[in-house]
Amino acid sequence: MTSRPLIVAALASAALLVSPTAARAAPDAGTLPMPPPPAATAKAPASTDAGTPGPTDAGTAAGTPAPAKAAVAEAPPPPPQKVPPETFDNALKAYFDGKPRDAAGPLYAWLQATPRTDDNYAWGQYFLAKSLIDLGLTHAGATYLARIARERSNPNVLPRALDALKGLTDRPHDEVMIDEQVFGALDLGFLPDETGAYAHYQQGLVDLRVGNERWANTHFSKLPETSAEASRAKFALLVTRLKQVKDPPEEMVKDFLGLSEDEKLTREARNEAALAVARLRYEKKDFTGALEAYGKVKLPELDPGRASLYLEEAWTRYKLGDLRASLGILTTLDAPSFRDEFMPDKYLLRALIFRDLCHYLPAKRAAKELTRRYADSLESVRNREDLSQDARLRRAANAHGGTQRAAKFVSLLDLEGERLGRYAGSFGDRLFGHLTRLYDLSHAEAVRVYDARLQEAVRLEADTLLRAAEQVRLMEYEVGLKLYERVKKGAQVVAAEEEELLSPAQVAFKFDNEYWNDELKSYRVRIESRCIEETP
């Protein structure tokens, strides 16, 4: 295990992995507008022969462009329909009566017919956004809230729009549109304290991404010490500094430990800090301290837990020499909840434990299990195929980090795109067509971002698989030598270790291949060592 899993996991929780904004094509600045054609002085004679082109058709027949036909093909959109003045008030009444479906269509029609300078224009955008969010179309609602934040035409509406946008960041969302283009570019002088703190935090993250820690500290220093953003900013700084040092100092470990007990952070963020402590202590070979830090990870009641957490704890117990407890945790990882997890190291660790206990045939079988289970993925890597099409590597890449966030956002757009079809009749053709185009464009961009992240993520997972496969091949060779090793005269079996007795508060049951979530951390394996001790 290296510190890389810490960096990847911490970057994911600190929301540092944000895809770059897509470049937009600029118009050709060197192209001059075409002058209007000269007015005709005489009416062109009509062609009398149906097969002979007249003057009007000559240019088209010769292959020259036909401006008239291009104009017809690129017809301007129809003008907005006129709406009665009371439409806005009626739509607001419908919204406050708990009928967002009845409010959305009229609000959109009113916005289309109203100039942007109208005093109520921003309010119309806000209530249209709220109506769409209430109907489960969160991305469409976020788009209108982001417009309010960028236009800033009404200072009374802006704080409400930013608060609503901040609430949407807890779920999958367009990170570029909300985190970068809105909160990452806000003028911070006029914002309320809570929204201003979140904006300072996001702008500090933008500075960290470009490597400017000094500017990031300028933003982070303005965060109230009692705010959750201050703790999240400290976590982001620690992760960034961790990437820059080879031997993290003990002070950094203590800082992560303090964050693991910070109640202002979410449970997920506290767990990430505790995992950071455990991984750093593991790298320093403080295995007892690492095991203690793993114990600080708090999961919901009856939650099966994380496969990566169990595997890391199994490695830590192996390093402490507690082979039977380590093998018990590997038994936990065979539970149905974890069978689809990408854990090639699990088979390597099981082979190592059996080898250390001199159970050479089980060790060889455990080593072969890795190449058998991941045979298709290994074949794809060797044949230089598109790894993103490998189901196992793709699932592993989607399990964490920026790829996971991008995949969740694509899934959200798919779900909301299907949900939009329910409102085709009540929204009207104009709003329904507008939202359909919005979701189509957003989905195409989200898929592009996801594919870019997926390509890099599957490459990293393939590297992990190849390293584990190489190690198990060495393990098979070593075990094969041990199988045919001659036992010297006078050698005897190593004395069996004394089993730890159960306390009066403990009860042991024989495993019958049933897995219960409240027992997953309690499995222990009774296995005797077959190693031979040579006598002098």
191-222 per-position pLDDT tens digit: 777 788 888 898 999 889 888 889 999 999 98
Tokens standing for 160?
Answer: 């409400």
Confidence grade of residue 287 (pLDDT, cut at 50, 70, 90): very high
Task: Calculate mean pLDDT across residues 233-240.
Answer: 91
**pLDDT for the residue numbered 27:** 38
CB atoms within 10 A of CB 190: 11
**pLDDT for the residue numbered 43:** 40
Task: Calculate mean pLDDT across residues 397-406.
Answer: 92
Q: What is the mean pLDDT of the chain?
A: 82
- Only one residue has tokens 């897509």, namely 22
Angstrom distance (rounded) from CA 332 to CA 311? 10
Angstrom distance (rounded) from CA 490 to CA 54? 114
Task: Calculate mean pLDDT across residues 163-184.
Answer: 91
pLDDT digits (tens, 9 = 90+) for 116-137: 999 999 999 999 999 999 999 9
Task: Calculate mean pLDDT across residues 479-508.
Answer: 70
The b-or-e profile of 106-126 (16+ CB within 10 A means b, else e) is bbbbbbeebeeeeebbbbbbb
Task: Calculate mean pLDDT across residues 323-345.
Answer: 90
Q: Are 363 and 354 contacting, i.e. CB atoms less than 8 angstroms apart?
A: yes
Helices 323-332 and 307-319: angle between axes, nearest 10 degrees: 170
Per CATH, which fold does 81-189 belong to? 1.25.40
Helices 100-113 and 429-483: angle between axes, nearest 10 degrees: 120
Angstrom distance (rounded) from CA 195 to CA 187? 12
Tokens standing for 60?
Answer: 């088209």
Q: Above 90 in pLDDT, residue 61?
A: no
- Only one residue has tokens 């009845």, namely 102
Q: Above 50 in pLDDT, residue 505?
A: yes
Tokens standing for 234?
Answer: 């400290």
- Give Cβ neighbours of residue 460 (< 8 Å, ≥ 6 apart): 397
pTM of the model: 0.77
Q: Alpha helix (H) ranges present in 298-428?
A: 307-319, 323-332, 344-356, 360-373, 375-382, 391-397, 401-420, 424-427
Residue 421 per-residue DSSP state: G
| Residue 161 buriedness (CB in 10 A; 0-12 / 13-18 / 19+) | buried
Could you tell me which residue, 440 or 76, shows the higher pLDDT?
Answer: 440
Residue 86 per-residue DSSP state: T
Q: Above 80 in pLDDT, residue 55?
A: no
Question: Would you list the domain boundaries of the chain?
Answer: 81-189, 362-485
**pLDDT for the residue numbered 493:** 61
Q: Are 128 and 111 contacting, i.e. CB atoms less than 8 angstroms apart?
A: yes
Task: Calculate mean pLDDT across residues 357-385.
Answer: 92
pLDDT digits (tens, 9 = 90+) for 294-331: 988 888 877 777 889 999 999 999 999 999 889 999 99
Confidence grade of residue 19 (pLDDT, cut at 50, 70, 90): very low
**pLDDT for the residue numbered 127:** 97
